[in-house]
Amino acid sequence: MIERREPAPGVIELRLHRPPVNAINPDLLEALESALADAVDGGARAVVVSGQPGMFSAGLDIPHLMTLDKAGMRRFWEQFFGTTARLARCRVPVGFAITGHCPAGGTVLALFGDYRIAADGDFRLGLNETRVGLPIPPVVFRAYRRLIGPRLAEQLGVAGRLITPGEALTAGLVDETVPADTVIERAVERAVELAGLPAHAVAATRAEARADLIGLFSGIGGADYDQMTSAWFAPETQAELAKFQARLAERKKA
């Protein structure tokens, strides 16, 4: 589920590979966490997380998650936010090569990296949770607001609006947009630059710069996972998720 390569000394690329759309399920999260830990423990000075051409990740694997009971869904939320916390706390810089579409859960993962390079093109990214009946979890909304500012985060988040790479660049959600066939190359170039700097200086400065992001996880716990699970199983949310699942099924037939 994770393809690993070393494009330059000290730089590890971790490519999501769960066809067809890199939908996020427990197995993918476990694989990403394990690969990230192995890269850092193995001496990586920087990491790049990438996706497949045209699709970084379509977000949560809703058809799979719809099969879980309340206990299983609660475990998933705990795992999902454990993964985002590990990205935020990673000892080395983690860049995201957003290779195409990146809605909802895909954008959530990228929020907790050090930088985001997006493929330019007819792609969409952002947080559209409200459109399937889910409130954006506070830790996610605060990370979103940290990048794009309070007013725009409110406008986009409440409406569940996805935006183009160009709009994301203007908003501050991504740091650069480049042609789709160079997005991984550019993310790696930036990783190489960071990996080449004095590690102690980078680590100390990152700790200060990212303290607010890491601090978002200081208060998250069981009550939050219970609340998110209750929101998932709310009748209105289940109805919207069922509609979404039906649309996915229709697209597969087309």
pLDDT digits (tens, 9 = 90+) for 146-160: 999 999 999 999 999
Instruction: Give the separation between CA 55 and CA 105, rounded to whole angstroms.
Output: 13
Instruction: Give the separation between CA 121 and CA 178, rounded to whole angstroms.
Output: 9
For residue 64, CA distances in Å to 67, 82, 114, 118, 154 come to: 6, 19, 30, 28, 30
Residues 6+ apart with CB under 8 A from 16: 1, 2, 22, 28, 32, 49, 50, 51, 52, 56, 57
Residues 91 and 80: beta-carbon distance below 8 Å: no
Q: How is domain 2-215 classified at the CATH fold level? A: 2-enoyl-CoA Hydratase; Chain A, domain 1 (3.90.226)
pLDDT digits (tens, 9 = 90+) for 189-228: 999 999 999 999 999 999 999 999 999 999 888 999 999 9
Instruction: Give the separation between CA 189 and CA 191, rounded to whole angstroms.
Output: 5
Q: Where are the domains of the chain?
A: 2-215
Instruction: Give the separation between CA 102 and CA 123, rounded to whole angstroms.
Output: 8
Percent of the chain with pLDDT over 90: 92
pLDDT digits (tens, 9 = 90+) for 15-24: 999 999 999 9
pTM for this predicted structure: 0.96
Question: 244: pLDDT confidence band, cut at 50, 70 and 90?
Answer: confident
The per-residue pLDDT for 254 is 65
Q: What are the tokens at 200?
A: 């102690």
Residues 188 and 15: beta-carbon distance below 8 Å: no
